[in-house]
Amino acid sequence: MNTAMAKLIEKIGRRAARISVIGLGYVGLNVSVSFANEGFKVHGFDVDKKKISSLENGVNYIPEERYLARVLPKVLGKKFIPSIEVEKASLLGDVVIIIVPTANGDVPTLTYLEKALKSVIRNDISGKFIIIESTVKVGTTDEFVVPILEKSGLTAGEDFFVAYSPERIDPGNPDKTLKSIPKIVSGINSESAEIAAELYEKIVSKVVLVSSMRTAEFVKLMENSQRDVNIALMNMFALMCEKSGIDVEEALFAASTKWNFHPYKASCGVGGHCLKKDPLLLAKSFENSDLDLGLIYSARKLNDSMPPLTAEKAAAICREKLGKDVAEAKFGILGLTYKKNSSDARNAPAQFIMERLGEIGAKRISAYDPLIRDSPINGSLMDVLKSDIVIMTVAHDAFKGVFDTFAGYVVDGTNTLEPSERVIGVGRGFAQEGVEQDEGNGFEKCGQDVPQRFRESAVE
């Protein structure tokens, strides 16, 4: 064990190591507060002035995260100091954790990561520990991150340490917290990996050490690509069900009686920062190989088709059920985030549904989400419930019972509502283009037979 490594581990052990976190989004803020709550001095940095201003005024901009709501007030301004001066991260921290976006919308980019790295080497990084948590394509830490850091004139693994540990968090899920989710760690060498393990063991229940940074990068991409492909398959099943008068939830319930069938939820689309880009990053990692990557691209294409298809379903209901032209009807969007009980609106299906509705002639569209603040498109629940057709894009707990007295049609993009003549889900109850369905045995029978616990527990 070299002297610098021994010094770092000793400081981590006594919680004397100073930690800088660059990027205070959903993951970065949780990581910062978690280390601060364990007694570490944490400096949190972000270029978003609104985030820093909110924190300086004691405002938690991710209020649905119960852990943050409880702990942030205890550490803010004491063990956790937010700042916009990113260039001071490596000056103030013995450990610098970088958790910045690696996409602009759903287009992968390393621009933000590059800027963060260049700010790090403005200061002497001798003996420092640099950790990347941002999701990147395989090989990025070795081939992109390390060369930038070595422009400092120092050698990674000798003069300073480098690790990669993919972020793992489930926003809005109180049962899957940062602490309870196993943490994957790796390093440029065994020393770096060992320091990473020692550090993260202070805030998570389990650390999983892998043999290389490439493996850790791959694991993250593999997790989300598997999820994307599985959801795409379920969405394909749902579209097939719509064409053949079958209720997809009934079919899923029946199939799940076999022990090796794993149900996922068909829906109006997937969103978030990760799921739309990570499969593309995985494919890009192997674009120069002889592998057929068509499965990944086909899944992405199908999942991206679900929001416009949902908009077109609402338009078809408008014409065929209401007898109205799309331009005459009023459409409501319930939910502007991509995930249940989360305020994260990045790449949310709602935005693409509204775009498609506008393209096909809708003139009156209102939207509401109780978890969204400061959005020009976020209106009122009352206004949405005055619509002819409401599209529910996310099943927030706050929406329970909201349609009890609603007299219009509901397009349930989450497949969590009880189906009826007026509540139509994805792959349930209403076929476009005149496809015949058995109204007596389809979605209404499923609504009676499928246990509610199944509908709620299927993987979304």
What are the residue boundaries of the structural domains of the chain, listed by start?
3-211, 249-457
Instruction: With cut-offs at 50, 70 and 90, classify the pLDDT of residue 446.
Output: very low
Residue 204: Cβ within 10 Å count: 20
* DSSP assignment of 184-227: EEEESSHHHHHHHHHHHTTT-S-EEE-S-HHHHHHHHHHHHHHH
Give the model's pLDDT for residue 315.
Answer: 96
DSSP letter (8 states) at residue 44: E
Q: For the segment 51-98, what is each residue's pLDDT rounded down to a tens digit?
A: 999 999 999 999 888 899 899 999 999 999 999 999 999 999 999 999
> What pLDDT sits at residue 258?
95
What is the chain's length? Answer: 460
* 8 Å CB contact between 126 and 159: yes
Lowest mean pLDDT segment, chosen from 100-114, 328-342, 410-424: 100-114
Determine which one of 220, 265, 276, 339 is catalytic: 220
pLDDT of residue 436: 42
Q: What is the mean pLDDT of the chain?
A: 91
pLDDT score recorded for residue 191: 94
- Mean predicted confidence (pLDDT) in 7-33: 95
Considering 241, 268, 274, 446, which one is annotated as catalytic?
274
Q: How much is the pLDDT for 443?
A: 36
For residue 452, pLDDT beyond 70: no
Per-residue pLDDT band at 235 (split at 50, 70, 90)? very high
pLDDT tens digits for 264-285?
Answer: 989 999 998 888 899 999 999 9
Which ranges of 46-205 does DSSP label H, i.e. alpha helix?
49-56, 66-75, 89-92, 111-120, 140, 146-149, 190-200
pLDDT at 255: 96
Mean pLDDT of 353-372: 96
For 249-457, which CATH class? alpha beta
Q: How far apart are CA 119 and CA 153, in angstroms?
A: 15
- Average pLDDT value for residue range 169-187: 88
pLDDT at 127: 95
Mean pLDDT of 384-399: 96
Distance CA 188, CA 190 (A): 7
pLDDT at 138: 97
pLDDT at 454 over 60: no
Show Cβ contacts of residue 60 under 8 Å, excluding neighbours closer than 6 positions.
54, 68, 69, 72
Q: What is the mean pLDDT of residues 162-188?
A: 91
pLDDT computed for residue 430 by the predictor:
61
The better pLDDT of the pair 399, 105 is held by: 399
Q: Does residue 434 carry a pLDDT above 50?
A: no
Paired tokens of 278: 């990570």
Q: What is the mean pLDDT of residues 97-103?
A: 94
Give the span between the Cα atoms of 264 and 234, in whole angstroms.
Answer: 6
Active site annotation includes 51:
no
| Torsion angle (degrees, nearest 10) of CA 320, 324, 325, 330 | -110
Q: Tokens 């060498």 appear where? A: 189
Question: Given this chain, do its domains 3-211 and 249-457 carry the same CATH topology?
Answer: yes
Quick: pLDDT tens for 197-222: 999 999 999 999 999 999 999 999 99
Residue 440 or 103, more confident: 103
Considering the segment(s) 3-211 as one domain, its CATH architecture is 3-Layer(aba) Sandwich (3.40)
pLDDT of 441 above 60: no
The reply to whether 137 belongs to the active site is no
Measured from the Cβ of residue 359, the count of other Cβ atoms closer than 10 Å reads 11
What percent of the chain is predicted at pLDDT more than 90? 81
Which of 273 and 140 is assigned the larger pLDDT? 140
Task: Read off the pLDDT band of 1 (50, 70, 90).
Answer: low
pLDDT given at position 440: 34
pLDDT class for 2, splitting at 50, 70, 90? confident
